Amino acid sequence: MCGRYVIYDRLTQGNVVLLGHDIPTNFNVAPTTEIPIIRRGADHTQELYTARWGLIPNWAKDLKIPPFFNARADKLVGNKVFWPCIQQRCLIPMAGFYEWDQTSKQPYFIQVSDEALFYTAGLWNRWCAPDGQQLDSATIITTDPNDTLADIHHRMPVIVDAEYRDTWLDAEFTTAHSLLKPYTRPMHKYPVNSKHVNNVRNNSIQCLEIMHNR
């Protein structure tokens, strides 16, 4: 799954610069907060938007619904929450994400080995509140784990390689859906300190420190 992640440029050790935007570093991005997403703009170029992490369906009366921050790739077809948004695809940039070992609760930081920044597959929606306010929200699609993740968790976010980002955003569903598989290129993980990572209020670089002497 993917319930916490990192926005950071580890090459410049600073903010992420993307599509003309300067995105603030955040070492502890959590559901219900604002996240940057990439989607097709009106002129069909890729544009950076901001959305609430946790998709809000059109029928929601308020924001007090369960946080739909992940969507299972294998259950998209006909899904009452996500299927109506299947044409509203987006990419969610990140430097890495956290995963908690299912049994030990030890958190790990997981990265793509040869990419400082990578992109997960998502869907977004524009929700109209009863008072007329609009809110864009998004969810991250999950799939089975690859070898890097398998020993700690049974889900992982779908990562879209550079050559398929346009396909995810533009292709008809059958083609786009074929991209929703476990990531095959090299990834690596290392344990991090739960004292820092577990609490969303801690979003310093300490979250990325390797935890020794477990």
Q: Looking at the annotation, which residues are catalytic? A: 2, 99
- Measured over the CA atoms of residue 22, residue 68, residue 180 and residue 182, the dihedral's sign is positive
User: Which positions from 110 through 149 interact with DNA, judged by CB under 7 A?
Assistant: 142
For the stretch 17-20, contacts whose Cβ atoms lie closer than 8 Å and that sit 24 or more positions apart, written own/partner, are 18/48, 18/93, 18/117, 19/46, 19/47, 19/48, 20/48
Let me know the angle formed at the C-alpha of 186 by 170 and 100, rounded to the nearest 5 degrees: 90
Shortest Å distance, C-beta 146 to DNA: 14
First-to-last C-alpha distance (Å) of the chain:
23
Choice between 104 and 184, CB closer to DNA = 104
Please, are residues 97 and 118 in contact by the beta-carbon 8 Å criterion?
Answer: no
User: Which positions from 11 through 50 interact with DNA, judged by CB under 7 A?
Assistant: 30-33
Shortest Å distance, C-beta 69 to DNA: 6
User: Which positions from 44 through 103 interact with DNA, judged by CB under 7 A?
Assistant: 57-59, 64, 66-72, 75, 78-84, 100, 102-103
Question: Binding to DNA by residue 154, rule CB under 7 A?
Answer: yes
Positions in the binding site for DNA (CB under 7 A): 1, 3-4, 30-33, 57-59, 64, 66-72, 75, 78-84, 100, 102-103, 105, 107, 142, 153-155, 194, 198-201
